[in-house]
Amino acid sequence: MTRALLFDCDGVLADTERDGHLPAFNETFEHLGLPVRWSADDYARVLRIGGGKERLASLLTPEFVERAGLPDDEEAQRAAIAEWHAEKTRRYTAKVRAGEMPGRPGIARIADEAHDAGWLLAVASTSAEESVRAVLEHVVGPEAASRFAVFAGDVVPRKKPAPDIYELALRELRVSADDAVVVEDSANGLRAAVAADLATVVTTSSFTVDEDFAGAALVVDSLGDLPDAPSRVLADPRGVGPLDLVDLGTLVALTH
């Protein structure tokens, strides 16, 4: 039997939304002279939309288009969104490479445990592949990152909460949903994983802590690293706790 451990990127590998994506979006808006700046509350609402380009496209109300002096035709607007997103990705990736976003507790540890036990590893994210690979290398190191398959960006037509990216990952990895576990941090990501029939561990992050995680196999504040950052269980519907660390044994129990 081959098992697989699949991670979302943003909010799971690192708290990238708060420390990376939001400031990179706002720096991009300022750099391009766009009449918008997202507050933390604004961004929490925008995060309900899957994908960076899709979040940018949500700005394009008639009023915004007029205020920003943007073209009216859809093709030109799509080109503008692609330009904005590329600029934002450059700025975000620079923040990752500068070490501004530390990895979340337990990620490197459990990736090593899974690899040593013969599990396949993957990241499945709606973020741009360049951004995902930068975060992955920063969090687990280049050697460990090379063990991961990466499914990211526009590789599927529908983004989370649609299950497409997880279904693609399972096909490409040739693993049954019964033999895989997902680590997510958002309700959208959880819905995508559950729709693909995947057992899902939720590790809450800055922008998702108050979301509805009904359907998760386990909800924790982090995977945990001892002794300094133990995991705190927030919901345990399958009764795998009590625990202060989510380890490979925990994940195996969730797939039964």
| CA nearest to 110, candidates 14, 238, 225 | 225
Domain ranges of the chain: 4-15+102-254, 17-97
CA distance 256 to 240: 11
Q: Is 10 a catalytic residue?
A: yes
Which of 8, 15, 164, 221 is an active site residue? 8
One CATH from 3.30.70.3270, 3.20.20.70, 3.40.50.10490, 3.40.50.1000 for 4-15+102-254: 3.40.50.1000
Distance between CA atoms of 24 and 116, rounded to whole angstroms? 36
C-beta separation of 89 from 130 below 8 A: yes
Mind listing the pLDDT tens digit of every residue in the chain (256 residues)? 899 999 999 999 999 888 899 999 999 999 999 999 999 999 989 988 988 899 999 999 999 999 999 999 999 999 999 999 999 999 998 998 888 888 999 999 999 999 999 999 999 998 889 889 999 999 999 999 999 999 998 899 999 999 999 999 999 999 999 999 999 999 999 999 999 999 999 999 988 999 999 999 999 999 999 999 999 999 999 999 889 999 999 999 998 6
Of 134, 143, 169, which Cα lies nearest the Cα of 155?
169
Give the C-alpha separation, 245 to 220, whole Å.
10
Residues 221 and 234 sit within 8 Å (Cβ to Cβ): yes
CB 243 within 8 A of CB 218: no
CATH of 17-97, one of 3.90.550.10, 1.10.150.240, 3.40.50.1860, 3.70.10.10: 1.10.150.240
pTM for this prediction: 0.85
Strand locations in the chain (E): 4-7, 120-125, 148-152, 180-184, 199-203, 218-220, 233-235
